[in-house]
Homo-oligomer: A and B are copies of this chain.
Amino acid sequence: MAILVVGSVALDSVKTPCGEKDDCLGGSATFFSLSASYFSPVKVVAVVGEDFPKEYIDFLKKRKNIDLSGLEVKPGKTFRWKASYECDINNPQTLDTQLNVFGQFNPVIPEKYKKSEFLFLANIDPDLQANILNQIKRPKVIACDSMNYWIKTKRQSLESLLKKVDIFFVNDSEARMLSGTDNILKAAKYILKLGPKITIIKKGEHGVLFSSKDSSFIAPAYLLEEVVDPTGAGDTFAGGFMGFLSSQNKLNASTLRKAVVYGTIMASFNVQSFSIDKLAYLKKSDIQKRYKDFVNLTKF
Chain A residues close to B by CB (< 8 Å): 89, 182-186, 203, 206-207, 209, 215-220, 223-227, 254, 257-258, 260-261, 296-300
Contact = CB atoms under 8 A, between A and B. Distances in A.
A176 B219 CA distance: 23
Given A183-B225, A183-B227, A218-B298, 14 more contacts: A183-B226, A184-B223, A185-B223, A186-B225, A206-B206, A206-B207, A217-B300, A218-B223, A218-B297, A219-B298, A219-B300, A220-B220, A258-B300, A298-B298
B218 A300 contact: no
Number of copies: 2
Given A183-B225, A225-B183, A226-B183, A260 B300 contact: yes
Contacts of A223: 184-185, 209, 216, 218
B226 A297 contact: no
B261 A225 contact: no
A51 B223 CA distance: 48
B185 A225 contact: yes
